[in-house]
Amino acid sequence: MIARGVMLGADQPVILHMLDIPPAAEALNGVKMELVDAAFPLLKGVVATTDVVEACTGVNIAVMVGGFPRKEGMERKDVMSKNVSIYKSQASALEKHAAANCKVLVVANPANTNALILKEFAPSIPEKNISCLTRLDHNRALGQISERLNVQVSDVKNVIIWGNHSSTQYPDVNHATVRTPAGEKAVRELVADDAWLNGEFITTVQQRGAAIIKARKLSSALSAASAACDHIRDWVLGTPEGTWVSMGVYSDGSYNVPAGLIYSFPVYCQNGEWKIVQGLTIDEFSRKKLDLTAEELSEEKALAYSCLS
C-alpha cells in the first residue's frame, strides 16, 4: 500500500526501511524480493534489516508494527510485558537516528501504552510526533453505521473513538452525521434506536479485533494496514474541511482526560499537525465511558512500568 502511494499520495516517491528480528530475516528478505518484483514506480529503495539502527536511520515516518500479537482468548494487556520492553529499546534508536521531525505511529499492542513508553524513553522526540492507531476502530464504527443505515461509508463522518485501543474504548456517534439527498443528518436521528447505539453498536466495535482473531486465528491485517495508511495520510496531508478522525495522542487534559496518557481523541490535521477538536458536548453516559477507558490506561501505564523495572 505504501509503495503504491496509498499512504503518502500518488506523487510521493518512498524508500521503505523494514525491520525484523534475526529469526525472521529470511522471510523479510523474501518481502524485499517481492517489493522489487512488483516494480512499483514510486518505490525508490528498500532496506530490509535486523539492525534497529540501520532501520531507524533518517526515517521521516515510523510505523511500529513489530511485536508479539494477541492470540485468541488473550486481552491486549496480556501481551504487555513482551512488547513494552521492545518499545523502550526502539525509542532510543528512533531518538538517536531518525530524521529530526519523524512522525511515529505505534500499531503494535497494547498500542496506546507502547506509544507512551516510546514517548517517555525518547524524551527529545516532541510529543506531538508520537501517536497510536485507533483509526481502525474509527473505520470499524463508520462501517457499522453504514451497514445499519444501508448508506455509503463515505457519506458517514465524525464518529469518535475515545480512549484505549482495547475493549474499554468508547465509540461515540453523538456528533456523527450522514450526507443524505436532503442534507446532513445526525446519525442518532437516522438510526432512531438509542438502545442499539448505546449497546450492541458499542460492543461490536469494542470487540471487533477479538472477533477477527477468532475468525482468522490471526489479528486483523488488511483493515489494520489500510487504517495505518489513512492515519498517516491525514496527519501529513490534512483532514478534509469539517471532518475529524480519531488518533491516539498525548493527552493535554482536554475533556478532563488525565494529562500524560496516550488517549484517542477526535482530531483535525493541518500542515502536518493534529489538533484535538474542542468544545464537543459530553453527556453523562459518555462521561462515564471516557473516564472508564482513561482509568484502564492509567492502570496499563502502571503495569508497563512494573514490567520494565
Active site residues: 165
109 assigned ligand-binding residue: yes
Q: Rounded to whole angstroms, how far apart are CA atoms 117 and 132?
A: 12
70 sits near ligand LMR (criterion: CB under 6 A): yes
Q: Which of 55, 15, 12, 6 is nearest to 35 (CA)?
A: 15
- Candidates 19, 63, 76, 90; binder of ligand LMR (CB under 6 A) is 76
Cell of 250: 498525548
Phi-psi region of 67 (alpha: psi -120 to 50; beta: other; left: phi over 0): left
Q: Are 48 and 15 in contact (CB under 8 A)?
A: no
Contacts with ligand LMR by CB under 6 A: the residue count is 11
Q: Which of 219, 226, 238, 295 binds ligand LMR (CB under 6 A)?
A: 219
Strands (E), 133-278: 156-157, 160-162, 170-172, 177-180, 183-186, 245-250, 262-270, 273-276
Q: Which residue has cell 486483523? A: 220
Q: 176 among the known binding-site residues?
A: no
Pick from ligand LMR, ligand NAD, none: which does 258 bind, CB < 5 to 8 A by kind? none
Beta bridge mates, 222: none
CB of 294 to ligand NAD, least distance (A): 18
Compute the half-sphere exposure of residue 93: CA atoms within 13 Å on the CB side of its CA: 17
Please indicate if the annotation marks 20 as binding a ligand. yes
What, of ligand LMR, ligand NAD, none, does residue 65 touch, CB below 5 to 8 Å by kind? ligand NAD
Query: Using CB distances below 5 to 8 A depending on partner kind, what does residue 212 bind out of ligand NAD, ligand LMR, none?
Result: ligand LMR
* Shortest Å, Cβ 280 to ligand NAD: 23
Structure letter (DSSP) for residue 194: H
Q: Which of residues 178-217 bind ligand LMR (CB under 6 A)?
A: 209-210, 212-213
**Which residue is closest to ligand LMR by CB?**
209
Is 108 a residue that touches ligand LMR (CB under 6 A)? no
* Binding interface with ligand LMR (CB under 6 A): 70, 76, 109, 136, 209-210, 212-213, 219-220, 224
Q: Write out the binding residues for substrate.
A: 70, 76, 109, 140
